[in-house]
């Protein structure tokens, strides 16, 4: 049976060099998947990207924003566009070019084929040279703790782990499952706007996890996404505090969508 997989990558302030390196990695993954009989496509979501015009001929762009609208809106537009493709995929993967390993896609596809998973989330661990790496068993323990506290929502546990221990933007969905939760994802942006009088930009991946846990928790799985060197501007104390507050706002949105 042929499996069709589509991956999407939002881009805004990544450098041209970073995008090109990532695209090259995706090309290698495509060749590997083709040998396994998997039909794989990859698209960029252009959120007013600063450097994308320099590499336009090398990529397929599914969403084109003339100006930056923020990550949440870009992902909603991207998911909507993928679900509307003439030949919709079986599996939809969202990953970033700054911190996510394209080769994990092969393991993601294998996991979907060998298990009952309908949503897989891949936390990455920020690590820089000279620091001690945590042991894999400790990372797994944190992942299990996080998953166990998504439904019902244990706010303090979720906030202490989400993007504090590791970011969770590397996500994969069975297409049918994404169709189930997509109306709520899209409605969440409207709720955020009405509730906080500003558009949602960051924390959309947390909303996706909370909705997945609400709709079908027994088919939600986690897989270690690997190591990533953090962008310095993402690790300052002010940025970390701001991200935690935005995450708390997204939990409020999830509760209005019926998450407990």
Any idea where the domains of the chain sit in the sequence?
3-256
Range in 48-57, 112-121, 134-143, 153-162 with the lowest mean pLDDT: 48-57
Range in 12-16, 97-101, 148-152, 179-183 with the lowest mean pLDDT: 12-16
Does 143 have pLDDT greater than 80? yes
What fold does the segment set 3-256 form as a domain? Spore Coat Polysaccharide Biosynthesis Protein SpsA; Chain A (3.90.550)
Overall average pLDDT of the 170-177 stretch: 97
Q: Is 46 helix (H, G, I), strand (E, B) or coil?
A: strand
Overall average pLDDT of the 20-31 stretch: 92
Q: What is the per-residue pLDDT for 98?
A: 86
Q: What is the per-residue pLDDT for 131?
A: 74
Q: What is the per-residue pLDDT for 112?
A: 97
Mean pLDDT of the chain: 90
Q: What is the per-residue pLDDT for 58?
A: 63
Which residues are registered as beta bridge partners of 195?
A: none
Model confidence, pTM: 0.94
Which burial class, exposed, middle or buried, applies to 111 when counting CB atoms under 10 A from its CB (0-12, 13-18, 19+)?
middle
Does 52 have pLDDT greater than 90? no
DSSP 120-174: EE---EE--TTSPPPPHHHHHHHHHHHHHTTTTT-HHHHHHHBTTTB----EEEE
Range in 8-12, 95-99, 162-166, 206-210 with the lowest mean pLDDT: 162-166
For residues 123 and 226, give the distance between their C-alpha atoms in angstroms, rounded to a whole number: 8
Overall average pLDDT of the 82-100 stretch: 94
Q: What is the per-residue pLDDT for 231?
A: 59
The better pLDDT of the pair 190, 18 is held by 190
Write out pLDDT tens, residues 193-250: 999 999 998 899 999 999 999 998 899 999 999 888 775 555 567 777 888 899 999 9
The better pLDDT of the pair 224, 131 is held by 224
């Amino acid at each position: 049976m042929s499996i069709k997989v589509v991956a999407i990558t939002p881009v805004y302030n990544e450098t041209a060099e970073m995008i090109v390196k990532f695209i090259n990695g995706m090309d290698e993954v495509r060749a590997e998947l083709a040998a396994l009989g998997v039909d794989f496509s990859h698209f960029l979501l252009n959120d007013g990207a600063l450097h994308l015009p320099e590499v336009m001929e090398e990529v397929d762009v599914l969403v084109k924003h003339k100006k930056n609208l923020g990550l949440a809106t870009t992902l909603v537009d991207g998911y909507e566009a993928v679900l509307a493709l003439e030949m919709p995929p079986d599996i939809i993967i969202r990953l970033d070019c700054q911190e996510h390993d394209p080769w994990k896609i092969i393991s993601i596809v294998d996991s979907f084929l060998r298990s009952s998973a309908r949503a897989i989330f891949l936390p990455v661990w920020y690590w820089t040279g000279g620091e001690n790496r945590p042991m894999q068993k400790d990372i797994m323990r944190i992942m299990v703790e996080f998953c166990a506290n998504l439904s019902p929502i244990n706010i303090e546990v979720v906030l202490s782990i989400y993007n504090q221990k590791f970011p969770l933007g590397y996500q994969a969905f069975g297409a049918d499952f994404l169709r189930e939760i997509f109306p709520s994802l899209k409605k969440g942006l409207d709720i955020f706007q009405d509730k906080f009088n500003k558009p949602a930009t960051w924390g959309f991946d947390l909303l996706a996890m909370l909705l997945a846990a609400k709709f079908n928790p027994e088919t939600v799985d986690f897989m270690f996404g690997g190591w990533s060197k953090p962008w310095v501007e993402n690790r300052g104390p002010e940025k970390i505090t701001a991200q935690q507050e935005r995450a708390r706002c997204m939990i409020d949105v999830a509760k209005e969508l019926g998450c407990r």
